[in-house]
Amino acid sequence: MRKNRRNIKKISLHPILTYGIMIFIVILVSALLALLNMSGTHIVYSEASGAFEKVTEAVTSVLNLRGVKFIYTNIVSGFANSAVLSNLIIILFSIGIMEKSGFLETFVTIVTKRMKKTTVTFWIVLICLLLSISGDIAYLVMIPLAGLIYYHGKRNPAIGIIAAYGSLCCGTGISLIFTSVDSALSKDTLLMANQLDPNYTIGAMNLSLVNVIAIILAAFMITRLVENKIAKDLPKYEFEDTSVEQEVMTKKKLRGLIYAGTVCFIYILIFIYNIIPGLPFSGNLLDYSQHMYIDKLFSFDSFFTKGFVFVIAMLFVLAGLFYGIGARTIKNTNDFADGLGHSLNGIGKIIVMIFMSTSLITIFKYSNIGNTVVTVLTDLLGKSGFTGLTLVLALYGISIATTLLVPSAIANWSIMNNAVTTTMNAGISPIFTQFVFRMGQCVTICLTPLFSYFVIYLAYLEHYNQGDKQIRIFTALKYMLYFALIMLVIGIALILIFYLTNLPLGIGGYVSAS
């Protein structure tokens, strides 16, 4: 009997089926909560009327004729309009030319040859933490790129994928400067704060000190986690080609790197010049409808936000193309075309997974479960009577919980910003309230399949799976749990230290409202 039990393979659901089960659960839960008439009310500012209005959020059942009609009429359009899918394809063909031409392998070999494994991991983690400034594009670039860097460095690509996704999620709410998301959140924060203090303002560097500390702590702690726990827990990866000749630097490879480096340097200089205002013929890529420079660069209508995917894609294409010309790995147009399509080979399952992911998100948004839960919890916070540190920690806990259901910071904060008046009445500044909310996001955004880019993380783990020990959705979440615990500890530590000492959060930013 024991021998037979040992031979029985564990049943492991493919992520596609797991997504299907989650969709079914959402439909059932929406029906139950709608039956219980779950609802809540929050206040929003109406630009049309120029006044604050009450808005009621209620759960909508998907388990009825209207819900079924919604599924059939919106699932396909939701998938077709998915920014994740379109941007991923663009990034993949640009990465493909870098890999096929040999640029990526040569570059990684040179950069990492004399580096310790821990150092390589540290830099990937730090870069991912800092890339919160670039928005969601970082997930599409760094996840596949980190996998390839570890692959060409002869380590399990899953290490790089896990490290990149976890670090990007941990850095989502901490940035050296205000991002477009921070700017949008601050506008909502000010609307609520100015009800009690019309003179209150928020500066772009209000959280600079506390965010720098958070990034440094996260970088070192995540690096130790990846090297001491995750890398050792993952199985040994079998490589198809371990030829030593590939690591030898030849004249052709060196010439290819010089060509690629020169062209990319010129390309980057042109781009940078066009985002600097005030110089002759400069600043052409800024959004001049905005007032602050940070908004001119990162507003939702800016070139940087809408066109940055293609900017990065073209940089990668130029690097791969000119390396291939110099190294003679690209000899004709056929080689170039093959390189562009290289990374798109075998992505059928990834596309199906994105379809299931967008279906889950579309149905969940229709059910309005997330917004209703956020409204109810925020309302409870306002009525709790909590003050001081208890109020701050309660807000932190609510942010952690609600991020699981509403990963979008802007959508979540459009409801949770009602807490600003609650905290101000308790003597806590709006900017510190916003910081606590953002730190809560950093804890659990990596744990929710409702986050649009979770499927990219999952798909690339699936892409590199080998043998019997397959990394499925629950194993992927288990690894993210470690990242969540790190950010939970960092968040609590920073909240306690800055609240108890009343140290400045940054330039002009303080814990106290007075």
For residue range 403-435, what is the model confidence (pLDDT) as tens digits? 999 999 999 999 999 999 999 999 999 999 999
Number of domains composing the chain = 1
Instruction: Decide which of 12 and 490 is more confident.
Output: 490
Domain assignment present for residue 2? The answer is: no
CB 222 within 8 A of CB 486: yes
pLDDT, residue 414, reads: 92
CB neighbour list of residue 331: distance below 8 Å, 6 or more residues apart = none
Domain assignment present for residue 200? The answer is: yes
CB 395 within 8 A of CB 119: no
Report whether pLDDT(4) > 70.
no
pLDDT, residue 241, reads: 59
Long-range contacts of 39-47 (CB under 8 A, 24+ apart): 39/372, 39/375, 40/372, 40/375, 40/376, 40/378, 40/379, 41/375, 41/379, 42/375, 42/378, 42/379, 42/415, 42/418, 43/418, 44/414, 45/188, 45/191
Q: Name the region of 37 (left: φ>0; alpha: ψ -120 to 50; beta: rest).
A: left
Domain assignment present for residue 100? The answer is: yes
- Tally DSSP H helices, then E strands, for the chain: 23, 2
> Lowest-confidence range among 32-36, 44-48, 120-124, 168-172?
44-48
Query: Taking all residues of the chain, what is their mean pLDDT, rounded to a whole number?
Result: 88
Of residues 206, 142, 204, 151, the one with CA closest to residue 171: 142
77-132 confidence digits (pLDDT tens): 888 888 888 888 888 888 889 988 989 888 888 877 778 889 999 999 999 999 88
Tokens of residue 496, six digits: 């306690």
pLDDT, residue 15, reads: 87
CB 438 within 8 A of CB 497: no
Residue 131 three-state SS? helix
- Residue count (the chain): 514
Domain assignment present for residue 25? The answer is: yes
- Model confidence at 203, pLDDT cuts 50, 70, 90, reads confident
* Its pTM surpasses 0.75: yes
The Cα 499–Cα 514 span in angstroms is 14
Report whether pLDDT(297) > 90.
no
- CB burial of 233-272 (b: ≥16 within 10 Å; e: otherwise) equals ebeebeeeeeeeeeeeeeeebeebbebbeebbeeeeeebe
The Cα 152–Cα 111 span in angstroms is 11
The Cα 149–Cα 157 span in angstroms is 8
Report whether pLDDT(37) > 90.
yes
* Secondary structure (DSSP) of 182-247: HHHHHHHHHHHHHHH-TT----TTTTHHHHHHHHHHHHHHHHHHIIIIIHHHSPPPPPS---GGGG
- Model confidence at 242, pLDDT cuts 50, 70, 90, reads low
Report whether pLDDT(5) > 50.
no
CB 343 within 8 A of CB 99: yes
The Cα 114–Cα 332 span in angstroms is 34
pLDDT, residue 3, reads: 46
Domain assignment present for residue 512? The answer is: no
Helix (H) / strand (E) containing 45:
strand 39-46
Of residues 299, 83, 64, 266, the one with CA closest to residue 179: 299
pLDDT, residue 249, reads: 74
256 to 89, 253, 295, 339: CA distances (angstroms) = 26, 5, 38, 16
Report whether pLDDT(514) > 80.
no
Of residues 426, 423, 431, 417, the one with CA closest to residue 508: 431
Angle formed at CA 348 by CA 343 and CA 351, multiple of 5 degrees: 95
Helix (H) / strand (E) containing 57:
strand 51-58
Of residues 121, 149, 118, 105, the one with CA closest to residue 247: 105
349-400 confidence digits (pLDDT tens): 888 999 999 999 999 999 999 999 999 999 999 999 899 999 999 999 999 9
455 to 253, 343, 442: CA distances (angstroms) = 35, 17, 18
Report whether pLDDT(17) > 60.
yes
Report whether pLDDT(223) > 50.
yes
Side-chain half-sphere of 217: how many Cα atoms within 13 Å? 18
- Model confidence at 243, pLDDT cuts 50, 70, 90, reads low
Domain assignment present for residue 13? The answer is: yes
394 to 133, 232, 491: CA distances (angstroms) = 28, 36, 13
Domain assignment present for residue 30? The answer is: yes
Where in the sequence is the domain holding 491, given as residue range(s)?
Answer: 8-501
> Lowest-confidence range among 1-10, 306-315, 445-454?
1-10
CB 202 within 8 A of CB 431: yes
Relative to beta strand 39-46, strand 51-58 is antiparallel
| Mean local confidence (pLDDT), 42-46 | 83
Report whether pLDDT(12) > 50.
yes
Domain assignment present for residue 307? The answer is: yes
pLDDT, residue 247, reads: 60
